[in-house]
Amino acid sequence: MTARFNTVDVDGLKVFYRSAGDPGAPVVLLLHGFPSASHMFRDLIPELADDYHVVAPDLPGFGMTEQPARNDFAYTFENITRVVERFTEVLELKKFAIYVFDYGAPVGFRLALSHPERITAIISQNGNTYLEGVSEAFAPVQAYWNEPTQANRDALRGFLAPQTTLFQYTHGVSDPALVSPDGRNLDDFYLARPGNDEIQLDLLGDYKTNVALYGDIQAYLRDKRPPVLAIWGKNDPFFIPPGAEAFRRDVPDAEVRFVDSGHFALETHAREIGAAMRDFLAKHPG
């Protein structure tokens, strides 16, 4: 496998992305979560690249993608989705399966709402779109949604601390020694960039718009019945197993699987998840 690392201009914004596989093969778009970037897919991409054209962008404000100032770019999930939508158009990705994880879920599902004809399948790895999938760990964030005071905003700064990144990577993992420190240390490096803390707090505040869209997303799933594979780390402290099981309510033949891992399940189960994706996508070539 040969991976390529490129930057493309998307309406004036420089977007970094990884790609691998034959550009003529079916496309899988990988959308990362907080506080990570496309490097979280470093072990998954080789599992898919023999059969698929795999594309993994860094979202604005994350990773190697340009980080414009907040007064020049609104850090909302709607705006980030617009960038990703235009990114797929600039790269001429006309149809694709989406892998959605954490923050990648509201971006990917917004893409599906806007252009259902482009989505060939959905793989959700701890990518939630049901209220029952949201754990009590979101209580401080919900308090900020309900009362967007400076005090409630400042109370969320703990989500940006290195010890929280470590918790996200290792909680629920049977043996934390299996989790490479490279990914979380790189995430902490990006979080520590000047101004990134306020960007992340903006997005935590805007996450309420994702919850407000749950009903629309569920209606899309019921109406369009896209092929769905929900494969989750069952010990995730943020997006809990009922959120995966709920997909069957709207897509009765959705495949739901759990792996014995936490939030960043690819750190320990990339091979297993990759194999499940290959089997699933082979059944749904789009």
Distance CA 195, CA 91 (A): 29
Residue 119: which of 10, 246, 243, 29 has the closest Cα? 29
Residue 4: which of 22, 19, 21, 25 has the closest Cα? 19
Q: CB count, 10 Å around CB of 245?
A: 17
Residue 121's beta-bridge partner residues? 97
Is beta strand 119-124 parallel, antiparallel or unpaired with respect to 228-233? parallel
At residue 148, what is the residue type? P
Q: Are 164 and 200 in contact (CB under 8 A)?
A: no
Length of the chain: 286
DSSP 26: P
**How far is the first Cα of the chain from the last one, in angstroms, to the nearest whole number?**
24
Residue 172 tokens, joined: 């629920």
3-state helix, strand, coil in the chain (%, to 5): 50, 15, 35
DSSP 118: G
Q: Is 263 a catalytic residue?
A: yes
Q: Are 232 and 258 in contact (CB under 8 A)?
A: yes
Rg (the chain; Cα; Å): 17
Catalytic residue among 32, 53, 171, 263: 263
Task: Give me the active site residues, please.
Answer: 263
